[in-house]
Every structure is written in structure tokens, then in C-alpha cells.
Amino acid sequence: MSAEKVVDLQFVAPQVVQIRMQDRTSKNTFSEALTEGLMGAFAQVERLPDCKVVVLTGYDNYFASGGTQEQLMNLSEGRGAFTDRAIYGLPLHCPVPVISAMQGHGIGGGFVLGMFADLVVLGRENIYTTNFMRYGFTPGMGATFILPQKLGLALATEMMLSANNYRGEELQQRGIPFPVVPRDRVLTHALELAQTLAEKPRVSLVAFKDHLSAPLRQALPATIAQEVEMHAVTFAQPEVRAKIATLFGA
């Protein structure tokens, strides 16, 4: 399936762009088509002077599902790094505010991608997990940087170390600082929020996002480098390769 079909970009309200990830074949894992589509969509946003805010969402019960099994096996065999296609930083580096409407499950790098947005809306019934350590390798995609920033150190550490699944409702009870609504209301809530932002002047939104994001953009590369170093050690373990082969998708 082409990148154009698996990632749809359209204006859904005046000055509000929706980017929908809809790779049904891969359940929104970071397939080549989804990766290319995301990179192309965010590049297109930069060329849209009428765009004031982006709503990033998925399809049905899937927001984003992280790396494919093939990608993880390649990493375990020392072929490439997650930095080869740095899609995790797309929301952070987008010039206008990005809202993650996480209407479906956010898994591994898919959950991390959503956390790089400026604003986040979660679904009560959905599963959110940073499941890297389930396979025995350390978190990547900037998880060790952005999750403590967005969730707080204690919860982020628990999520990454345990690799457990968390329902949105449970995260709400744990005090996360994001709206958590019924999953069939996530996109509506995000669009309502987007329309509120779109009432502001674009130049002010761009300037303020640049101001708020600057410390994150400056600090992220050092953490990414550390994550890549940890991957060089942890992915090389035979146990990790075995877990990827047997547990992926289970």
C-alpha cells in the first residue's frame, strides 16, 4: 500500500489539518509506507501557510504500534538504528502546535510518537504501553527523554521498566496531565481543542511553540545518542532476538 493511502492529510476545519495514520495491513506499525507517509505529511504542513494546528490520529482501535518485527530483528542484528528514520521528532519539530488524538492503542514507539505532540488526548478504554523491555532491549525513540517530561519521572520509569499495559482510565487515575475521554470522543475532543487554538494568530502560535519547544529540541539529541549506545549493547543479546521472534504481536 502506498504512503499516500496509509497516511491521509486534509483540512477538517478552517486552518486545522488532520493527519490520519491508517496502515491497516500493519496495524499502524512503522512500516515503510507509514514512515514515508508521516514524513511527507509533516513536510507538507510546513508548506501550508493556512495551517495553524495539526491533529495527529490513527484509525479504529489503533493510534500507532511502534516498530515492525522486521525492523526490530534488523536492529538486533546490528543493521541500522531507529535514528535512520527519526519520525519520533516530527510533532516536536512541526512549526505549528500538534495535538495527538490517541483514539486507539499506543504501543511502544507509537505511544512515544504521541507524547512528542504539544497536546495529548487519550481514550479511557485504550491500551498505552512502552513495551520495549518486554523484548529485553532498552527504550528508544526518545522515550527516556519525553516520557519523564510529559508523565513525570515516577510513572514514566514504572512504565518503561515494567513494560506493562495501562488503560487510559488507569493512567487518568494515576494523575496524568492530559484529558482522558471515552475513545469515541477522543477525536472530537481534540478537534474542539484544535479549533480553540486556530482562533489565535498563526504567527503567535508559531512563535510560542518555538519558545516552548526550544529546550526540548536542544536537549533531545544527547538522550537519543545515549539510547543508541544502550541499543548497541542490549539488542545484541541472543535472548532479545529470541523474544522478538516469539513474542512480537502476541
Domain ranges for the chain, please list them.
3-181
Q: Residue 202: what pLDDT?
A: 97
Average pLDDT for residues 88-93, to the nearest whole number? 95
Q: Is the pLDDT of residue 248 over 60?
A: yes
Name residue, grid cell 488532520.
Answer: 18
User: DSSP states of 167-233 as a string?
Assistant: EHHHHHHTT-SS-EE-GGGHHHHHHHHHHHHHTS-HHHHHHHHHHHHHHHHHHHHHHHHHHHHHHHH
Average pLDDT for residues 50-62, to the nearest whole number? 97
Q: CA 174, CA 152: separation in Å to the nearest integer?
A: 11
Q: CA 29, CA 67: separation in Å to the nearest integer?
A: 6
The bridge status of strand 16-21 relative to strand 105-107 is unpaired
The SS3 assignment for 70 reads: helix
Tell me the torsion sign for CA atoms 153, 156, 160, 161: positive
Q: Residue 189: what pLDDT?
A: 98
Q: Residue 86: what pLDDT?
A: 85
Q: Cα 29–34–35 angle (5° rounding)?
A: 100
Contact 106, 88 (CB under 8 A): no
Average pLDDT for residues 182-191, to the nearest whole number? 97
Q: Is the pLDDT of residue 250 over 80?
A: no
Q: Which helix (H) or strand (E) holds 35?
A: helix 32-45
Average pLDDT for residues 85-98, to the nearest whole number? 94
Q: Is the pLDDT of residue 83 over 80?
A: no
Q: Residue 110: what pLDDT?
A: 95
- Give per-residue pLDDT as tens, 60-76: 999 999 888 888 887 87
Average pLDDT for residues 189-199, to the nearest whole number? 97
Q: Residue 4: what pLDDT?
A: 53
Q: Is the pLDDT of residue 223 over 90?
A: yes
Q: Residue 1: what pLDDT?
A: 46
CATH of domain 3-181: 3.90.226.10
Whether 231 is a known active-site residue: answer yes
The bridge status of strand 53-57 relative to strand 98-102 is parallel
Catalytic residue among 93, 105, 189, 231: 231
Q: Using alpha carbons only, how large is the chain's radius of gyration in Å?
A: 17
| CA neighbor of 143 nearest in space, from 130, 153, 133 | 130
Q: Is the pLDDT of residue 99 over 90?
A: yes
What mean pLDDT, rounded, does the chain reach?
Answer: 93
